[in-house]
Amino acid sequence: MAARADKESSQPSVSRVLSQRAQHHGLVSGLTGQNAAFSMAARLAVRWVAAHMMAGTHLPVEAVELIMTAAFLPASAAVPPPGECTDPDAPETTIVG
């Protein structure tokens, strides 16, 4: 019974998951609006991952889409803005490109 309670406490809350999915959707749809080729490139990458039987369990579709965003965003966008996803205690790093 204790193992089940530990497993449930390690699961993210529904509101957090929905918030992250909304942020992801906003990022992907915004990038699609800026660059029409992103949509087809992301779909092709998702199909490639699925064809190699890595989709779902090994690599979520959202992760493939985020990997594809790296090819379409400028290098200055590589540093995430401070927020709940970043660790405020971590030392700041700069990406030299």
Tokens standing for 11? 């699961």
Tokens standing for 89? 């205690």
Q: How far is the C-alpha of 48 from the C-alpha of 41, rounded, in Å?
A: 10
Q: Are 21 and 27 in contact (CB under 8 A)?
A: no
Per the listing, tokens 């699925």 go with 50
Q: Check residue 43 and give its pLDDT.
A: 92
Mean pLDDT of the chain: 77
Per the listing, tokens 């087809």 go with 40
The model's pLDDT over 64-83, given as tens digits with 9 standing for 90+, comes to 998 898 888 877 766 665 66
The model's pLDDT over 19-75, given as tens digits with 9 standing for 90+, comes to 888 888 888 888 888 888 999 999 999 999 989 888 777 888 888 998 898 888 877
Q: Is 65 exposed, middle or buried (0-12, 13-18, 19+ CB in 10 A)?
A: buried
